[in-house]
Structure 1
Amino acid sequence: MILFPEWLVAWVPSLLVAGIGLGIAPILSRHNGWMRAAFMLLAAFFSVRYLVWRLTETVAPIGFTLDALASWSFALIEAATVISSLSAFLILSRHRARSGDADANLPWVEKVAPSVAVVVATYNEEWSVLERTLAGALASEYRNKTIHVLDDGRREWLRERCAELGVEHVTRPDNDHGKAGNINHFLRELRRRGEEPDFVAVLDADFVPHRDFFTRTLALFADETIGLVQTPQHFFNPDPIQHNLGISRSYPDEQRFFFDYMQPARDGWDIAVCCGTSSIVRWTALEAIGDFPTSSVTEDYMLTSVLKMKGYSTAYLNEPLSEGLAPEGLKEYITQRSRWCLGLMQIVRSPAGPFSTEPLRFRDRWSVLDSCLYWLTTFPFKIACIVYPLLYWYLGVTVVDAPLYEVISYFGPYYLATMVFLNFVSIGMFVPIVNDISQLVGAWEISRSAITGLIKPHGHAFKVTMKGGDRDRIVIQWPIMRRFLAAFILTVGGLLIGLTSDYLFDAHAGEGKIVILFWTLYNLLVLAGTMLVCIELPRTASILRSNPEQVEVLVDGESRRVWLTDIHAEALRLRGLALPVGKAFTCFVPGVGEISAEVTLSLNAAVDARITLTAAQREDLIEKLHTQTGAPGTAGVAAAGLGAGLLRRLIAGTVR
């Protein structure tokens, strides 16, 4: 009988999972329900196997010791995270696509032509932001609609602009209940006038509907049990993670996983949720529930649960039918996600929560509980992963007591199976380090919102996510960065102490010292990347387009053909043209016309230029950029570009 060394046997499960991921998964269809279920079971098996091992073999004996406190607290945090992941795995085992239903029901839309009230709630957005949304709504191919700007900023200049465009400007005497209160005030006004529409479409002030937004979404309402149709949110500018890491064209925005993969999976279970903007709700459904709920700052998510109580479902149409502005600043990015977290905790404590006595199906309760677990576990766990290794380096506390071969045998296949499953259902969206950075950067604020929301669900002011503004210089977000800088310094200091002293990093630590060393080095990479995100780079052109367009440029009477790679209302970017800063030229853009431009940046046969547009050209450009069929931004991960972008960013520091 041949006996293999323990360390060699320990690699077998990981090699098996890696073989499945590399050799089998790429040739299978992620839309096949049986295949999704099989990969889900693979990930679930190794997750449970790992969790049992962690709780039975790697924790310190129970007692009043620092080792026991640290070991068990971290294990329980990790266990809650694994349970949350198992819930997400189960949801992702299904998938539903409704485009076929929309195609089949288009004749119904043409025949009935239901009326739609389009509401755009606004508070302090600039005209350059609102202009896009209104131009897109006006350019829609669907005609039986009215457009209403609900202005909680009560701005006279906006009333005048709305009058020029022929859309209604509505104000109210107070700002009670934020966005939901603003919309409800207008719904009451419609009833008072006797102008009840068939449907209400909700657009954020920075979201532009495509030409076919209304026809495609309305088609699903041929099914009278559907109370609300939600569509994905796509973004035409990079979010702070993409932009500040220099990976805008090789890594999708942070919300792509949820909108492109989690929502269709939720729809497969009939638990898709409303996400506010780019949604349409049936008027009779709103009347049945007494308009938009106001007991949560995320009234959109709660709207789904309240509609379910009255027998209405939420349908998800996974088509790029609108596009908007992602938060450009890191503070705004974190504020937005903290608000989502707080709102979800308010829902948990509400009559629409998982423990409510209201008539909710088990799966609807599970839906809210799954989201609650995500916010309560994911972000505290990221903080714990940074903090707990420090206990070893400075206090000699062993958090995970296990030989290396067992870590390889249990953690290795668990981590790989999770990656295989998530990347199978999402076409490679799960990228280590980058994924950790995106979660760690706002982990402190989000964790605080989660705990605060559960303990004290009410009495919190609605915080608006600021959009637009001047972002033409480097800004270091020191209040956010300093905690990561402190963690980085402490980690490096602890590592140096351990490696240069026999006090901790000696034979008494056993093989666990290799685990803690790897864990520490990984944390340093994540912390370094997170600090880079806190260094906000200037934004010149901000529209992400995957396909450059060839245009004609006239310079000193000479015509040239170059590539237009970026353009917005104030600037454009050209490739294949070398001109000095300050040089004036003319650019002919299809669909917009002749544009006067002046070079502001010239580098390697590429230029950025300031442009001047007429009012008509601004409208034409908005229609060209934002109302056509298709998705802006980056849809998937480009591994080579991602690696190159991160490397350039690390080397360049704050210089782009």
Structure 2
Amino acid sequence: MLVLSPLVAAFAGAAFLIGVRLTVFPLLDPMKWYWRALLLGTAAVLSWRYMAWRFTETLAPLDWTADALFSWGFAMLEALTMLSSTVAFFILSRVKERSAEADQYSEWWLPGEAPRVDVFITTYNEPSEVLERTIIGATEIRYPRLRIFILDDGARNWVRQLCELHEIGYLARSDKEHAKAGNINHALRVHARDPAPPVFVAVLDADFVPHADFIERTLALFHEPGVALVQTPQHFFNPDPIQHNLGISTAYPDEQRHFFDNVEPARDAWGIAICCGTSSVMRVRAVEQIGWIPTQSVTEDFLLTLKLAENGWQTVYLNEPLTEGLAPEGLEEYITQRGRWCLGLMQIVRSSYSPFGMRGLGLMHRIGILDSLLYWLSTFPFRLASLICPLLYWWFGITIVNASLVEIISYYVPYYLMVLLSLNWLSKGLFVPLLNDTAQLIAAWPISRAAALGLLTSGSHKFSVTAKGGDRTKVVVQWALMRPFLLLLTLTIGGLIVPLNSDFVFNTSPTAGDGTAIVMFWTVYNILVLFVAVVVCIERPRYDRPQRQVPEPITLVIQGEKHRGWLLNLGRGGARISGPSGLSAGAAGKLDLPGIGGVDAHVAATTRDGYRIKFSPTPEQRAKIIKKLHTESAMPGADRGNILQMIRELARALTS
């Protein structure tokens, strides 16, 4: 009789799951709720199997000792993340796509007149190149009864002049109370007194360019009279800081893709889709009925969803790329934005809509709030704790997990693999452990602080605007963000080396049975995460190169000589081409661009495969460039992960 060793037997579960992923998963349809429920339900069962083992077998005996305090504390935090995941799995078990519905009801108002739609573009301090891009895109929207208005909370004269140039409306107010929500409310009240008030209002942030079919597609879902708001996804024509600084934008989607491509369609299936501010369209009558946009939170969009639901109105989601915006270009802006989202949710839970409160919300909306609350409260503190716990072992001899290698492989590995494989199956490969953990770590401390601030303090909090635009052409080292990671990296490497090579350690001899191997693996993984986080803090130069581009033939004319080649990247004021050779920097002429014509240009620099070109388009040519880059009905950037390409690009970034 063949007897397997305990280690081989422990690996059997993991091997089985990998085999199922390779042979069975490709045959399943991720749009079918029963397959989603089966796989995510299995992941939840294995998660709690692991958690039960953690509490019964791996913790220090309850006592007033450091081992007990930290091992039980970490296990409780781990259980909180498990609860968060379980609620998320429940929501993700269904999904709804509304494109066919939008096709069916594309002109539901016929044979009557098309309803009036106003487009509100909110702005505060964005530069002209950001705002003009959105204005030009808005003027290309295909819809018969459309008006466009800039809501300028900066009260800038040049913005008024820009509106006059493009023949659109301009609104400013005397005070800045309640930030963006107050700005929109002011415009709604002004337009309510209009002889021909809008029936629907579309909201765009200053840096979000609508596609030509934005209104056509979203308006179709208002065929149901109970629909108050249609939200569409936020896509980005530039990589976010993590994608850009690691050089992986072509192989790894932006950090928000999971929410907009997976979470929002799942929430919509349960009737709890949420407004995300920009790229949405709302029924004016519904918003007027609830007393306009609520102002009790810095995330007024989520609060608007809940207040509409409380009054019997529905928010729905159309998962089509109908706008594209400018992702935060710097780490500080990236972190500020996520901290604001967390703070706003905590304000809502504390003062307005607790999942356990008495407000008139249905069960699913309460579950939706609980899901968001658990995410912000558990994910980021857990990431910090995961870095600190191995240090406690190496430097102070505090045992956090007392387990054998066989037990870890038997309980942890099947749970972890099932979660990872299931989520990647339904999300097109968006979950890459090293990158996901780095993204969480970058903002972990500010978000944890924002969660505490929002839950424990009352009163209003300042609305922090995410800065956009500006000069991004130089390398910038974010030392303030990098220093904590460097310190933790030094302590982690030191914790691995010092106890093994000297007597300089604050404990006597750390022991966790053969669990020392587990801590060793944990430590090495943390070193990788911290190293990548340090690299992310080195902000690489950015150039005006929107992501959605395909090579096109061009002709560069220098001193009467034609040089044929390919357009690789196109921006508002420059391009990258390949093909021509023998040109020197500064050589001037004309660049003939498809659909735009000849633009005055000169060679700015030599690249690995061609040249970087600077040009000076006329206003008409600049408008054509913006339309070409941003208003077509296509998705910018990557929508799925490519692990092999990602490894190559990440290796190149880490070694360059």
**TM-score w.r.t. length of structure 2:** 0.97
What's the counterpart of residue 560 of structure 1? 563
**Aligned partner (choices 536, 540, 548) of residue 537 of structure 1:** 540
Distance 1:444 1:109 in 2: 50
CA distance in 2, matches of 1:154, 1:40: 50
Name the CA shift for 1:308/1:508 in 2 (closer, same or farther; >3 Å): closer
CA distance in 1, matches of 2:366, 2:323: 30
Per-residue CA shift, 1:542-593, capped at 9, x if unaligned? 3112522222222332323322121111221112334332222422112221
Secondary structure of the 1:423 match is helix
CA distance in 2, matches of 1:288, 1:584: 60
1:597 to partner: Cα distance: 1.8
AA matched with 1:185: H
Amino acid in the other structure paired with 1:196: P
For 1:520, the equivalent position in structure 2 comes to 523
What's 1:307 paired with?
Answer: 308
Q: Shift of the alpha carbon at 1:505?
A: 9.7
User: Aligned pair 1:587/2:577, yes or no?
Assistant: no
Greater shift in the superposed pair: 574-583 or 293-302: 574-583
DSSP 3-state at the match of 2:641: coil
Query: What does residue 573 of structure 1 align with?
Result: 576
**1:7 to partner: Cα distance:** 1.3
Deviation digits for residues 321-380 of structure 1, max 9, x if unmatched?
010100001100000000011011111123333123121101001101101111111111
Could you tell me which residue of structure 2 aligns to residue 167 of structure 1? 168
**Corresponding letter in the other structure for 1:595:** V
The separation in 2 between residues aligned to 1:45 and 1:562, in whole angstroms, is 57
Instruction: Tell me which residue corresponds to 1:186.
Output: 187
Which residue of structure 2 aligns with residue 203 of structure 1? 204
TM-superposed deviation, 1:506? 6.5
Contact kept? 2:239, 2:327, Cα under 8 Å: yes
Preserved contact between residue 109 and residue 219 of structure 1 (Cα < 8 Å): no
Q: In the alignment, which residue of structure 2 is the partner of 1:510?
A: 513
| 3-state DSSP of counterpart to 2:413 | helix
**Match status 1:32 vs 2:32:** yes
Aligned to 2:76: 76
**Is 2:59 the partner of 1:59?**
yes
TM-superposition CA deviations, 1:137-167 (whole Å, max 9, x none): 1111113111111111110111111111111
Matches within 5 A, 1:181-580: 181-501=182-502, 508-578=511-581, 579-580=583-584
Indicate the residue corresponding to 2:608 in structure 1: 604
1:281 alignment partner AA: M
1:258 deviates by 0.7
Q: Distance in 2 between matches of 1:364 and 1:583?
A: 62
Within 2, Cα distance between the matches of 1:55 and 1:547?
54
Report what 1:101 is aligned to.
Answer: 101
Deviates more, 1:328-337 or 1:449-458: 449-458
Q: How far apart are the structure 1 equivalents of 2:419 and 2:378?
A: 17
Matched letter for residue 533 of structure 2: T
Task: Tell me, yes or no, if the aligned pair for 2:122 and 2:205 is still in contact at 8 Å.
Answer: yes
Does 1:625 pair with 2:615?
no
Question: Which has the higher mean CA deviation after the structures are superposed, 86-95 or 495-504?
Answer: 495-504
Verify the 8 A CA contact 1:577 1:605 in the aligned structure 2.
no
Contact 2:588–2:603 (CA<8 Å) still a contact in 1? Answer: yes
Alpha carbons 1:541, 1:573 under 8 Å: kept: no
Query: Using the alignment, how far apart are the partners of 1:492 and 1:563 within structure 2?
Result: 48
Aligned to 2:639: 635
CA drift of 1:37 comes to 1.2
1:402 partner letter:
A
Cα distance 1:91–1:626, how it changes in 2: closer, same or farther (>3 A)? same
User: 3-state DSSP class of the match of 2:602?
Assistant: strand
Assess if the C-alpha contact under 8 Å between 2:376 and 2:451 holds in 1: yes
Aligned mates of 1:224, 1:188 — CA distance in 2? 22
How far off is 1:316 after superposition? 0.4
TM-superposed CA distance for 1:275, in Å, is: 0.4
Q: 3-state DSSP class of the match of 1:326? A: coil
Q: What is the CA–CA distance in structure 1 between the aligned matches of 2:508 and 2:645, rounded to whole Å? A: 38
CA offset digits 1:384-412 (Å, max 9, x no partner)? 11111100111000100001100011110
Contact 2:552–2:594 (Cα < 8 Å) also in 1: no
Distance 2:109 2:194 in 1: 26
Q: Distance in 2 between matches of 1:427 and 1:315?
A: 23
Assess if the C-alpha contact under 8 Å between 1:260 and 1:318 holds in 2.
Answer: yes
1:26, distance to aligned residue in structure 2 (A): 2.1
- Is the Cα contact below 8 Å between 2:296 and 2:460 reproduced in 1? no
| CA 457–143 in structure 1, closer or farther in 2 if over 3 Å, else same | farther
- 8 Å Cα contact 2:396-2:510 kept in structure 1: no
Letter in 1 for 2:358: T
> Aligned partners of 1:633, 1:457: CA distance in 2, in Å?
40
* AA in 2 matched with 1:156: N
Please tell me whether the aligned partners of residues 60 and 67 of structure 2 are also in contact (alpha carbons under 8 angstroms).
Answer: yes
What SS is found at the alignment partner of 1:202? strand
Superposed displacement of residue 211, structure 1: 0.5
Deviation at 1:507, TM superposition (A): 8.7
Contact in 2 for aligned 1:208/1:626 (Cα 8 Å): yes
Percent identical pairs in the alignment equals 49
Equivalent residue number for residue 647 of structure 1: 651
Query: In the aligned structure 2, how far is the partner of 1:281 from the partner of 1:221?
Result: 9
Which moves more between the two structures, 15-24 or 407-416?
A: 15-24
Q: 1:129 to 1:109 in 2, by over 3 A?
A: farther
Once the two structures are overlaid, the 10-residue window that deviates more, 33-42 or 580-589, is 580-589
Give CA deviations for 1:287-340 in whole Å, capped at 9, x if unaligned.
111110100101111111110011111110000101010000110000000001
Instruction: Flag the 1:360–1:174 CA change in 2: closer, same or farther, 3 A.
Output: same
Segment of structure 1 superposing worse, 558-567 or 520-529: 558-567
Q: 1:70 & 1:322 partners in 2: Cα distance? A: 47
Contact 2:397 2:509 in 1 (8 A): no
Report the Cα offset of residue 244 of structure 1.
0.2
> 1:190: how far off?
1.5
Partners of 1:247 and 1:556 in 2: how far apart? 38
Shift of 1:185: 1.0
Who is 2:138 aligned against?
A: 137
Q: Give the secondary structure class of the aligned counterpart of 1:433.
A: helix
Pair 490,109 (structure 1): closer, same or farther in 2 beyond 3 Å: farther
Q: CA 1:541/1:575 → structure 2, altered by over 3 Å: closer, same or farther?
A: farther
Aligned to 2:156: 155
Q: Please state whether the residue corresponding to 1:281 is helix, strand or coil.
A: strand
Please give the alpha-carbon distance, in whole angstroms, between the structure 2 residues aligned to 1:406 and 1:254: 33
**Residues 403, 512 of structure 2: 8 Å contact kept:** no
CA distance in 2, matches of 1:401, 1:565: 55
Deviations 1:173-212 (A, max 9, x none): 1100000001101111112344421001100000011000
Please tell me the residue identity of whatever aligns with 2:613: A
Count of aligned pairs? 652
2: CA distance, partners of 1:573 / 1:74 = 51
Q: Tell me the distance in 1 between the aligned counterparts of 2:541 and 2:580.
A: 22
Please give the per-residue CA displacement for 1:487-540, whole angstroms capped at 9, x wherever unaligned: 001111111112224777979442111100100000010001011110000012
SS in 1 for 2:351: coil
Segments of structure 1 that go 5 or more residues without pairing to the other structure are none
